[in-house]
Structure 1
Amino acid sequence: MKTLLRLVAAASLLLAPPIVSAQTAKLPQGVKRVVFLGDSITYAGQYTADIEAYFITRDKAANYEFINVGLPSETVSGLSEAGHAGGKFPRPDLHERLARVLEKTKPDLVFACYGMNDGIYLPFDETRFKAYQDGCTWLRDEVTKTGAKIAFITPPVFDSLKGGKPGYNDVLGRYGDWLLSMKKSGWVVADLHGPMTAYLDEHRKADPNFALASDGVHPGPEGHWVMAREILKFLGASDVAKAKSAEEMAAAPTHGLEILKLVTQRENLLKDAWLTATGHKRPGMATGLPLDQAETKAKEIGKQIEALLK
Structure 2
Amino acid sequence: MRIQFIFFLLLGLLSISYLSVRGQVRHKPEIWDAAGPILFLGNSITYSGQYVAMTESLLLTSHPKKSPMFCNLGLPSETVSGLSEPNHADGKFPRPCLFDRLDHVLDKIKPEVVFVCYGMNDGIYLPFDSSRFEAYKVGILRLHERLQKAEIKRIIWLTPPVHDDLRLRTAGYNQVLDRYADWLMAEAVKNSWEIIDLHFPMKGYLEQQIKVDSTFKLATDGVHPGTLGHWLMAKAIIAHLLPKMVLEPTWDEQLSRYAKLERLYPLVLKRQTIMKDAWLTHTGHKRPGMTKGLPMAQAYRLYQEIKSKIADL
Task: Report the 3-state secondary structure (helix = DSSP H, G, I; strand = E; otherwise coil) of the residue aligned with 2:166.
Answer: helix
Give the one of 220, 224, 240 matched to 1:234.
240
Deviations 1:33-92, CA, capped at 9 Å, x for gaps: 210000000000000000000011110122221110000000011111111100000000
Give the one of 274, 277, 281 matched to 1:276.
281
Deviations 1:146-205, CA, capped at 9 Å, x for gaps: 111211100100013257895110100100000100122122111010100001111111
Distance 2:143 2:202 in 1: 24
Match of 1:186 in 2: 192
Match of 2:109 in 1: 105
Give the 5 Å matches for 1:12-23: none
Deviations 1:218-255, CA, capped at 9 Å, x for gaps: 000010000000111122424233x1223332333331
Distance 2:93 2:53 in 1: 29
- 2:142 aligned with 1:138, yes or no? yes
Distance 2:84 2:30 in 1: 34
**Is contact 2:163–2:169 with CA below 8 Å preserved after alignment?**
no
Match of 2:21 in 1: none
Distance 2:255 2:77 in 1: 30
Match of 1:40 in 2: 44
Structure 1: tracts of 5 or more residues without a match: 1-25
Deviations 1:115-170, CA, capped at 9 Å, x for gaps: 00000001111111111011011111111111112111001000132578951101
**Is contact 2:40–2:74 with CA below 8 Å preserved after alignment?**
yes
- 2:37 aligned with 1:31, yes or no? no
* Counterpart code for 1:192: L
Distance 1:232 1:104 in 2: 27
Give the 5 Å matches for 1:115-194: 115-148=119-152, 149-161=154-166, 167-182=172-187, 183-194=189-200
Query: Mean Cα displacement is larger for which, 27-36 or 73-82?
Result: 27-36
Cα–Cα, structure 1 residues 162 and 270, in superposed 2: closer, same or farther, change >3 Å? farther
Match of 1:19 in 2: none
Distance 1:191 1:238 in 2: 18
**Is contact 2:32–2:67 with CA below 8 Å preserved after alignment?**
no
Match of 2:215 in 1: 209
Distance 1:162 1:61 in 2: 47
Distance 2:301 2:138 in 1: 39
Structure 2: tracts of 5 or more residues without a match: 1-28
Distance 2:168 2:303 in 1: 36
Equivalences, count: 282
Cα–Cα, structure 1 residues 144 and 30, in superposed 2: closer, same or farther, change >3 Å? farther
Give the one of 41, 52, 68 matched to 1:64.
68
| Percent identity over paired residues | 49
* Counterpart code for 1:102: L
